[in-house]
Amino acid sequence: MLDPKLIRGDLTDLAGQLARRQFVLDVDHLSSLEASRKSAQVAMETLQAERNRVSKAVGQAKARGEDPAEILETVTELGHQLDAEKQRFDEAARDLQELLLGLPNVPDEHVPDGQSEEDNVEIRRWGTPRQFDGEAADHVTLGEATGLMNFDVAATMAQSRFVALRGELAQLQRALTQMMLDIHVSEHGYEEVYVPFLVNEEALKGTGQLPKFGEDLFRVALDRALYLIPTAEVPVTNLMRDKILSLDELPVKMVCHTPCFRSEAGSYGRDTRGMIRQHQFEKVELVQLVPPEQSQEAHESLTSHAEAILQKLELPYRVVNLCAGDLGASSSKTYDLEVWLPGQSQYREISSCSNFKDFQSRRLQARYRLEQGAKPELLHTLNGSGLAVGRTLVALLENFQDAQGQVTVPDVLRPYLGGKETLMARSK
* Among 88, 125, 174, 277, the one annotated catalytic: 277
Min dist. Cβ of residue 222 to RNA (A): 9
Q: 62 or 110, CB closer to RNA?
A: 62
Active-site residue 349, yes or no?
Answer: yes
Amino acid sitting at position 226:
L
Active-site residue 391, yes or no?
Answer: yes
Min dist. Cβ of residue 373 to RNA (A): 7
* Among 37, 161, 362, 391, the one annotated catalytic: 391
Q: 134 or 373, CB closer to RNA?
A: 373
Q: 40 or 290, CB closer to RNA?
A: 40
What is the spatial distance between Cα 288 and Cα 6, in angstroms, rounded to a whole number? Answer: 25
* Among 301, 330, 332, 352, the one annotated catalytic: 352
Smallest CA-to-CA distance from 130 within 410, 351, 426 is with 410
Q: Burial of 9 by CB count in 10 Å (0-12 exposed, 13-18 middle, 19+ buried)? A: exposed
* Among 262, 348, 362, 363, the one annotated catalytic: 262
Smallest CA-to-CA distance from 137 within 428, 407, 390 is with 407
Q: Which whole-number Å values give the CA distances from 338 to 11, 112, 318, 415, in the listed order?
A: 36, 18, 5, 26
Q: 122 or 242, CB closer to RNA?
A: 242
* Among 264, 314, 349, 377, the one annotated catalytic: 349
Interstrand relation of 226-228 and 198-199 (parallel, antiparallel or unpaired): antiparallel
Min dist. Cβ of residue 234 to RNA (A): 17
The footprint of RNA (CB under 7 A) covers 4-5, 8, 38, 41-42, 45-46, 48-49, 51-56, 58-60, 62-63, 72, 75-76, 78-79, 223-224, 367, 372-373, 375-376
Confirm if 258 and 232 have CB atoms less than 8 A apart: yes
Active-site residue 53, yes or no?
Answer: no
Min dist. Cβ of residue 72 to RNA (A): 5
Q: Which whole-number Å values give the CA distances from 29 to 36, 42, 95, in the listed order?
A: 11, 20, 11
Min dist. Cβ of residue 52 to RNA (A): 4
Active-site residue 262, yes or no?
Answer: yes
Query: Residue 203: which H helix or E strand, with range?
Result: helix 201-207
Confirm if 248 and 215 have CB atoms less than 8 A apart: no
For 89-110, b/e burial (b = at least 16 CB within 10 A) is beebbeebeebbeebbbbbbee
**CA within 13 Å, CB half, 226:** 10
Min dist. Cβ of residue 228 to RNA (A): 17
Q: 56 or 166, CB closer to RNA?
A: 56
Q: 224 or 428, CB closer to RNA?
A: 224
Annotated catalytic residues are 262, 277, 349, 352, 391
